[in-house]
Chain A
Amino acid sequence: MFGFEPTEEQKLLVEAVRRYAENDLRAAAHEADESGELPPDLIEKGWELGVLQASVPEAYGGFGERSAVTGALAAEELAWGDLSGALAVMAPGAYALSVLLTGSEDQKSELIPPVIEADWKPYVAAFVEPEYDFHAGEMRTTAVASNGDYLITGRKARVPFGDSAEALLTFASLDGRIEAFAVPTDAEGVQVGEREQLLGIQALPTFPVTFDKVRVPASARLEGMDASQVLASFNVAAGALAIGLSRAAYEYALDYAKEREAFGAPIAQKQAIAFMLAEMATEIDGARLMVWEAAWEIDQGKEAFKSAYLALSNAAETVMMVTDRGVQILGGHGYIREHPVERWMRNARGLSTFAGMAMV
């Protein structure tokens, strides 16, 4: 059977996340962007919603089953509130869920509980690389076998909370395959650089990290890497975030267009504005359905690599279009930082490269 409605349980979760997104994330977003800081309480409060904890089975310290669909629903709401805040709350998920998906029994029992059993702590993934043509399938960061250990060498970028991270789940190419290694931040050869200065997500502290022949034991490598599934889950997460951000800009522009008058009537009564809004609504819905479909395929254990890739590709296109129009509909006022639309437009541009920072 086809179905387009979340379950009651999912609706309750979405409702809780939405309240947090509205009352906490959204309320703090402007100040956080200007100051470049996310209040720790804000992140902790989002963490206590328990979205990640509910995705991890009891055996590893959680209280549920992973569902990419549920994760996508929650991610959309978080990003509707604020993308920086969403990425902060979700950062440990990129670590823990990667382990859940591809770790051995021992690795799961050892690596996941510390992440999820207590307060939010920066266990994060180091996935993205700084080069313009970064491609997950051909990472420049490499791992080579050396006396029963691995030596990791390369440069990573966009590592959230890199300076304070407890551990880095570092993705690297091993003989041309993608592999992930749990690397302690204090391992020799790991060097965290200066905080990155970015176009958007300015409230989220991200760092470049270099690995210079960092030696990790063989047991640090997640044993059952299924790159296709991991990439699909990263892409779905980024896609869901793009939908939430799109919806924020669309709703804001719609409300504004009904209020703002020009030539004696609300600008929304002009087709040039109204048709833009109609297209924004249509594209957002279509893009969301693609994200849901890919997430559903992941949950069904189907091969979701292609559909997740197309979903993010389409969602990233949509979020740029929608946020740009968000600014356009506000006119010159949209360009002023008192309104959130310019921030959303800046945040939007990053989503085509944010896969790897969050997972569902």
Chain B
Amino acid sequence: MISFEIPETIEKTVTMIEAVATEMMRPQARYYDEHEHEIPWEYINFMHEALQSADGGVSMAPEGPKDEDEPMLGKPSIGYQGLAHYVEMLSWGDAGLYLCTPRGGLGAAAVSAAGTPEQKAKFLKRFNGDKAVFSAMAITEPHAGSDTAAIKTTAVQDGDEWVLNGEKIFVTGGHKSLVDTPGFVIVWATIDPDAGRKGIRSFVVEAGTPGCTVTKLEKKLGIRCSDTATIVMQDCRVPFENMLGTVEQKKTSEGYKGVLRTFEVTRPLVGASALGIARAALEFLVEKLAEGGFEIRYGLPRNRMTNLEAEVIDLEAMLRSAWLLTLRAVWMVDNKVPINAEASMSKIKAGDAVVKITQKAIELLGPMGYSREHLLEKWFRDAKINDLYEGTGQINRLIVARRILGYSRHELS
């Protein structure tokens, strides 16, 4: 059935999160923007406890699409649909702080999506402990970003261990996952440098593993509250079973496909985060215009509108279209409808929308919009990352194009 009815449980939780966003995130946003690399413990601990006590109802890393053997209790899951709403609302509060939300993150998402039941049990348990714990995903290297198959970090088997060597950059939450809390980082490495993408696997590297060090924290345009770390691995040893996936998958290129599948889940969630920022900016724009006595008249033909009305209406439509694409993608994940191009579509549209909306909002609010007195200029800076990480706008276009054309990466690169 086609329906846009928000499930009650999601709606209730969103209302709770809105209070956090309004009362805690917005007031702290500027401080952490100006104090890069300071850790927002108050937010982290609050969120950890809040999520902990939410009766298991709210997880920032729901189980991956459930396996056939897991009973569904007759109800389709709405986990990712909920998550998209929560991420949107938290990012509406502040995207930098949202990226510091404990209990999961990209690393946990990868374990959920690609790990075996034993791996899930072993690595995900820590998020439910007394203290906040983080996880991260390390793919990017200095010379290889979009071209993930070109990574050079190696994993060599030595008895019942893997020995990792290489350098990872731009790891979101890398410091929090390895230094500040007993978390882990999912590291992409090749077990056969001559095999190209077929040789790539992902490994769980836990905090405290000898040979794994955080060597740098980046200074950024926006989302400054989120740490972006460089991680160096020198003869870093992890147990054999820390390679994600089953033994069979470990022998084939299924391993690589498994990790790619993570993106089908994380891309719409990045989209949701983008759209929280976009909504914040658009609401601010409309609110300031209203304070100035400017009302948007809906229903007019374009030749009767002011330019300002036309601009705002276009931004609203853009935001709605992007949000519905995002919602559809997570709905597909929840309902186990195979994702074709939909995850990347949501990411393209959300990335475009947030960049356009924040840039336009400043333009339309003139000198006031440009001032650091308001958070709008921060949202403009925060926005841009959404067009870059989890696949740039171009890479997601490439993916959509390949899927709709039925092309391999050789036919379209």
Q: Does A27 contact B (CB under 8 A)?
A: no
Q: Pick out which of these stretches binds chain A: B24-32, B127-135, B286-294, B312-320.
A: B312-320
Q: How far is the CB of B278 from chain A (nearest CB, A)?
A: 14
Known A269-B412, A271-B398: A289·B328 in contact at CB below 8 Å: yes
| Interface size class, chain A | 35 or more
The answer on a CB contact under 8 Å between A2 and B348 is no
The answer on a CB contact under 8 Å between B405 and A274 is yes
Query: Whose C-beta in chain B lies nearest to the C-beta of A232?
Result: B299
Q: Does B71 contact A (CB under 8 A)?
A: no
The answer on a CB contact under 8 Å between A282 and B2 is no
Contacts of A137 in B (CB 8 A): 299-300
Write the B299-342 contact mask toward A (1 if CB under 8 angstroms, else 0): 11111100000000110111011101101100110000100011
Q: Pick out which of these stretches binds chain B: A55-63, A108-116, A145-153, A303-311.
A: A303-311
Given B7, B345, B404, which contacts A254 in the complex, CB threshold below 8 Å? B404
The answer on a CB contact under 8 Å between B320 and A290 is yes
Q: Does B397 contact A (CB under 8 A)?
A: yes
Given A5, A268, A269, A307, which contacts B2 in the complex, CB threshold below 8 Å? A5
Given A277, A309, A313, which contacts B405 in the complex, CB threshold below 8 Å? A277
The interface centre, meaning the residue of A7, A286, A300 with most chain B CB atoms within 10 A of its CB, is A286
The complex places the Cα of A6 from the Cα of B3 at a distance, in Å, of 9
Q: Does A287 contact B (CB under 8 A)?
A: yes
Write the A269-294 contact mask toward B (1 if CB under 8 angstroms, else 0): 10100110111011101110110110
- Which B residues, 1 to 39, have Cβ-Cβ distances below 8 Å to chain A? 1-7
Contacts of B321 in A (CB 8 A): 283, 286-287, 289-290, 314
The answer on a CB contact under 8 Å between A258 and B405 is yes
Given A5, A132, A309, A352, which contacts B299 in the complex, CB threshold below 8 Å? A309
Q: Does A135 contact B (CB under 8 A)?
A: yes
The complex places the Cα of A352 from the Cα of B317 at a distance, in Å, of 15
Q: Does B349 contact A (CB under 8 A)?
A: yes
Known A5-B2, A135-B300, A305-B299: A285·B345 in contact at CB below 8 Å: yes
Contacts of B194 in A (CB 8 A): none
Q: Does B78 contact A (CB under 8 A)?
A: yes
Q: Does B214 contact A (CB under 8 A)?
A: no
The answer on a CB contact under 8 Å between A310 and B2 is no
The answer on a CB contact under 8 Å between B1 and A289 is no
Q: Does A1 contact B (CB under 8 A)?
A: yes
Q: Does A134 contact B (CB under 8 A)?
A: yes
Q: Does A252 contact B (CB under 8 A)?
A: no
Q: Does A175 contact B (CB under 8 A)?
A: no
The answer on a CB contact under 8 Å between B325 and A69 is no
The complex places the Cα of A135 from the Cα of B252 at a distance, in Å, of 63
The answer on a CB contact under 8 Å between A278 and B401 is yes
Given A135, A136, A305, A310, which contacts B317 in the complex, CB threshold below 8 Å? A310
The complex places the Cα of A300 from the Cα of B299 at a distance, in Å, of 21
Contacts of A271 in B (CB 8 A): 394, 397-398, 401, 412
The complex places the Cα of A231 from the Cα of B298 at a distance, in Å, of 12
Q: Does B236 contact A (CB under 8 A)?
A: no
Given B81, B298, B324, B331, which contacts A293 in the complex, CB threshold below 8 Å? B324
Contacts of A279 in B (CB 8 A): 348, 397
Q: How far is the CB of B14 from chain A (nearest CB, A)?
A: 13
Q: How far is the CB of B299 from chain A (nearest CB, A)?
A: 5
Q: Does B51 contact A (CB under 8 A)?
A: no
Given B313, B327, B398, B407, which contacts A2 in the complex, CB threshold below 8 Å? B327
Contacts of B4 in A (CB 8 A): 2, 292-293, 296-297
Q: Does A263 contact B (CB under 8 A)?
A: no
Query: Whose C-beta in chain A lies nearest to the C-beta of B404?
Result: A281
The complex places the Cα of A132 from the Cα of B401 at a distance, in Å, of 39
Contacts of A353 in B (CB 8 A): 301
Known A1-B78, A231-B299, A268-B412: A310·B320 in contact at CB below 8 Å: yes
Q: How far is the CB of A259 from chain B (nearest CB, A)?
A: 12
Given A283, A290, A309, A313, which contacts B324 in the complex, CB threshold below 8 Å? A290
In the A-B complex, the 10 residue pairs with the smallest Cβ-Cβ separation, listed nearest first, are: A286-B321, A289-B324, A274-B401, A278-B400, A3-B3, A314-B317, A278-B401, A3-B1, A282-B345, A278-B397
The contact sample of 10 A-B pairs, CB cut-off 8 A, is A7-B1, A136-B299, A269-B412, A271-B398, A275-B398, A277-B404, A277-B405, A285-B342, A293-B4, A307-B320
20 more A-B residue pairs beyond the given contacts A271-B398, A281-B341, with a C-beta to C-beta distance below 8 A:
A10-B2, A133-B301, A135-B300, A268-B407, A268-B412, A269-B411, A271-B394, A274-B397, A278-B341, A278-B348, A278-B404, A282-B349, A289-B325, A290-B321, A292-B4, A293-B320, A295-B2, A296-B4, A310-B320, A352-B301
